[in-house]
Structure 1
Amino acid sequence: MKISQIYQYPIKALRPTSNSTATITAQGFKYDRRYMLLHVQPDGSFKNVHVANYPEATLFTTSMTEPAGEDDRGTITVTYNPPKGEELKGKPDAPATLTIPLVPDMTGLKQLEVIMHQSPTRAYEMGSEYSAWFSKHFGFEVILAYLGPHGREVLMSRPERPRREKGQGSNATTASSSTQHADVPDPELTFADCAAYLVVSATSLDELSSRIPGDYNVDVTKFRPNLIVEGCALPWDEDFWGEMTIATDSSPVTMSLEQNCARCPSINIDYSTGAPGKGLDGQVLKSMQRDRRVDRGAKWNPVFGRYGFTTKSDIGKMVKIGDEVQVTRRIEERTRFGECCSLVTNPTQLTTTMIADWPGIYGN
């Protein structure tokens, strides 16, 4: 097997950037989900822009140029693509593209608190130059926030490192932590929902596409993956991958695959309209309901993909398209999705507050 595609999401909820290489950090790929958009509410509070709640976010595509030297900050180019068949209504003077520094100068920027799934962090407000552009295209006030050096606690349970108690620092250990996992960091996340990485199998994607009538091919980016692995003999075999090793040009990268990724209606969005799909695009989730609700911890939602983490010794290594992948540990039974974002197994138990942030749990 080998890596066939690599994706990074420089701004959460917007369309990804396809790369041939990516660098490992303790928080995921180097530039992944370090920006996020916040919808300003009437009372001045913020609502996180997740794909499922804000499908129009998929109308924005991104490209990324990494820094070329010490004094170069790199760029993110965001392009707004009007909904299919519509003009820029009321926005004729709005440019189609916006350039944002990939690594901004945070000097003098206002700090604010961002809370994702009960995992708070600090971030920097990028200012009106950027927020006004996004606000014009969304049609309501949004703020562009940059994570900077901060991070969020991983809330979901992990087999090798239990979730730390409230009040414990990111370097805290628990009595039940095992020394055999000393190389596994107690990571903090960027604006990714649950884990540093999301891995999917191209074989499973092909099988899923075959369930949709006609020649419809499911767009893999609807699942928000970081790595697509091709060459697996059987669809859905990744459900039983506990660890995979990537043979990079330097030394192998070990990725522990620890939880399933349960799915929500965000995979039914029609990217050409920025709205829930009315045709074949709207059938993707339904096509998985019959036999892919295989996680007892999220029994109402079908599963596609595995959440993963790398090790401390992998930081700084580069993976690329074509790198060979080997499953180095298999599990006998599918994992059960643990504590993440106050996860409940019965939708009737959801409170209004939880529903507001619920969809972003699925799809990273």
Structure 2
Amino acid sequence: MTMKVTALYVYPIKALRGIKLKSAQISPQGLSHDRRFMLYEVRPSTGELKKIQLDSHPLCALFEQQIVHGPRDGEPNIIVRFIGSDPAQAVATNGEDNSLKVSLEPDTGSLERIDVVLHGSPASAYRMGDTYDVWFSQRLGVPTILVYLGDGRRAVLGKTLLPKPEQRQEGWVSSLTSYITGSQGAPSAKSTPWLTFSDVAPLLVASESSLREVRSRFSEGGRVEMYRFRPNIVVDGEGEDAWAEDFWAELAISPGDGDGAEKHVLQLTGNCVRCTSLNVDYETGRPAAGELGQILKKLMKDRRVDAGSKWSPVFGRYAFLDGRHADGFSVTVSVGDDAEVTRRNTERSIWDWPGL
């Protein structure tokens, strides 16, 4: 059955609020600009870096992001705004605007290189500098640095998350077809998939039908919004029941404006196992009170379906664009595009990212 793409989200600075898009360029590393920046807490006594994410730093929910383009040269920037209003979260800023502009494509020539690690996968990145570090440190209440991935790359450590060889061959055919028909980028020798600061895969796909089932468990189900689950691509349509995506192996997306349109294939390779970030209140920047603080617990009852992570509930599927595309290749995906499950697994995926 054909579904529709109903939402697209990008998160330029990891852990902060996402940006909802109508259309996006998608490459082998996910949506354009997705999770190219990340915040780390600096332990004062040791200088050790600790990743900043919603589960450990719920104040991240109070930072909005917006992508804007300069009026002259069109240079893309992120405008970050801190929207905390609680007196306990007040920041002494000497009257400065409570927003920060960050170039989406900074010149790294003068930036300090720094080695960082996310989920055991290391990368060489760049410190953005004191201006950014001070701004975030004041608002998060801990010594913080902002880093930019730039030309760094993180390895995919989970073996079962990688597209299988036969799927990569399909990806080669798809990329060749795209090149002939004019899609951006040309295929080249087979490349090994790599990551930005996305957790374990470039894309996260979620379904509206599963969200509706989650909402049915709450008296105020409408307050359980999709953004809590932090997907990149959301799909919906008749014929796919709640949790059907547990077995999706391949999802083909094509423009919804007529037959014969080119299809862009996603390989869905693993489950997204969930943590306490689901319970964060996006209005207060704290763990939610009442029912909204019980989302993870309610999913625990029957959604611990991955034998590789038996204590964590599953919502959504991790994905790669095709199985293999050259760096620089990208396709356009828009809200309203058709989405069709073209291959299903007969058995559930098993989580295998070491140490996570």
Q: TM-score range by the shorter chain?
A: 0.7 to 0.9
8 Å Cα contact 2:9-2:232 kept in structure 1: yes
Q: Distance in 2 between matches of 1:267 and 1:93?
A: 34
* Alignment correspondent of 1:239: 246
8 Å Cα contact 1:68-1:74 kept in structure 2: no
8 Å Cα contact 2:163-2:320 kept in structure 1: no
* Alignment correspondent of 1:327: 341
**Which AA in structure 2 matches 1:322?**
G
Q: Distance in 1 between matches of 2:109 and 2:162?
A: 38
Shift in Å at residue 160 of structure 1? 5.9
8 Å Cα contact 2:160-2:350 kept in structure 1: no
Which shows bigger deviation, 80-89 or 102-111?
A: 80-89
* Alignment correspondent of 2:284: 273
1:73-102 CA distances to partner (integer Å, 9 max, x unpaired)?
A: 301010101155756254463421111111
**Which AA in structure 1 matches 2:254?**
A
**Which AA in structure 1 matches 2:355?**
S
* Alignment correspondent of 2:228: 222
Q: Which runs of 5+ in 1 are unaligned?
A: 163-175, 344-364
In the superposition, relative to structure 1, how do residues 342 and 215 fare at CA in structure 2: closer, same or farther (>3 Å)? closer
8 Å Cα contact 1:91-1:137 kept in structure 2: no
2:214 equivalent to 1:201: no
* Alignment correspondent of 1:109: 111
8 Å Cα contact 2:121-2:157 kept in structure 1: yes
* Alignment correspondent of 1:65: 68
* Alignment correspondent of 2:101: 99
User: Secondary structure of 1:195's match?
Assistant: coil
Of 262, 283, 302, which aligns to 2:273?
Answer: 262
8 Å Cα contact 2:149-2:196 kept in structure 1: yes
Which shows bigger deviation, 182-191 or 320-329?
A: 182-191
**Which AA in structure 2 matches 1:7?**
Y
**Which AA in structure 2 matches 1:46?**
L
In the superposition, relative to structure 1, how do residues 244 and 129 fare at CA in structure 2: closer, same or farther (>3 Å)? same
Q: Distance in 2 between matches of 1:234 and 1:182?
A: 28
Q: Distance in 2 between matches of 1:274 and 1:268?
A: 10
Shift in Å at residue 323 of structure 1? 0.4
User: Secondary structure of 2:342's match?
Assistant: strand
User: Secondary structure of 1:335's match?
Assistant: coil
In the superposition, relative to structure 1, how do residues 198 and 291 fare at CA in structure 2: closer, same or farther (>3 Å)? same
**Which AA in structure 1 matches 2:52?**
V
User: Secondary structure of 1:285's match?
Assistant: helix
Shift in Å at residue 181 of structure 1? 5.5
* Alignment correspondent of 2:50: 47
2:216 equivalent to 1:210: yes
**Which AA in structure 2 matches 1:104?**
P
1:91-130 CA distances to partner (integer Å, 9 max, x unpaired)?
A: 4634211111111111211000011122111111111121
Shift in Å at residue 67 of structure 1? 7.5
**Which AA in structure 2 matches 1:108?**
S
Q: Distance in 1 between matches of 2:52 and 2:301?
A: 30
* Alignment correspondent of 2:78: 76
Equivalent residue runs for 1:137-176 within 5 Å: 137-158=139-160
Q: Distance in 1 between matches of 2:167 and 2:270?
A: 19
TM-score, length-scaled by structure 2: 0.86
Q: Which runs of 5+ in 2 are unaligned?
A: 173-189
User: Secondary structure of 1:33's match?
Assistant: coil
User: Secondary structure of 1:23's match?
Assistant: strand
In the superposition, relative to structure 1, how do residues 281 and 310 fare at CA in structure 2: closer, same or farther (>3 Å)? same
Shift in Å at residue 322 of structure 1? 0.3
TM-score, length-scaled by structure 1: 0.84
Q: Distance in 1 between matches of 2:117 and 2:245?
A: 31
8 Å Cα contact 2:171-2:325 kept in structure 1: no
User: Secondary structure of 1:107's match?
Assistant: helix
1:230-273 CA distances to partner (integer Å, 9 max, x unpaired)?
A: 11531111111110000038721100001011111110011111
**Which AA in structure 2 matches 1:53?**
S
In the superposition, relative to structure 1, how do residues 224 and 207 fare at CA in structure 2: closer, same or farther (>3 Å)? same
Shift in Å at residue 72 of structure 1? 3.5
* Alignment correspondent of 1:56: 59
Larger relative contact order, structure 1 or 2 (CA cutoff 8 Å, min sep 6): 2
1:136-189 CA distances to partner (integer Å, 9 max, x unpaired)?
A: 111222111100021100111236657xxxxxxxxxxxxx88874563752110
Equivalent residue runs for 1:269-308 within 5 Å: 269-308=280-319
User: Secondary structure of 1:57's match?
Assistant: helix
Q: Distance in 2 between matches of 1:64 and 1:203?
A: 29
- Percent of aligned pairs with the same residue? 39
8 Å Cα contact 1:56-1:138 kept in structure 2: yes
User: Secondary structure of 1:158's match?
Assistant: helix
Q: Distance in 1 between matches of 2:270 and 2:201?
A: 9
**Which AA in structure 2 matches 1:8?**
V
8 Å Cα contact 1:73-1:104 kept in structure 2: no
Q: Distance in 2 between matches of 1:230 and 1:254?
A: 17
Q: Distance in 2 between matches of 1:197 and 1:6?
A: 11
1:52-85 CA distances to partner (integer Å, 9 max, x unpaired)?
A: 111111110111135789x543010101011557
8 Å Cα contact 1:26-1:185 kept in structure 2: no
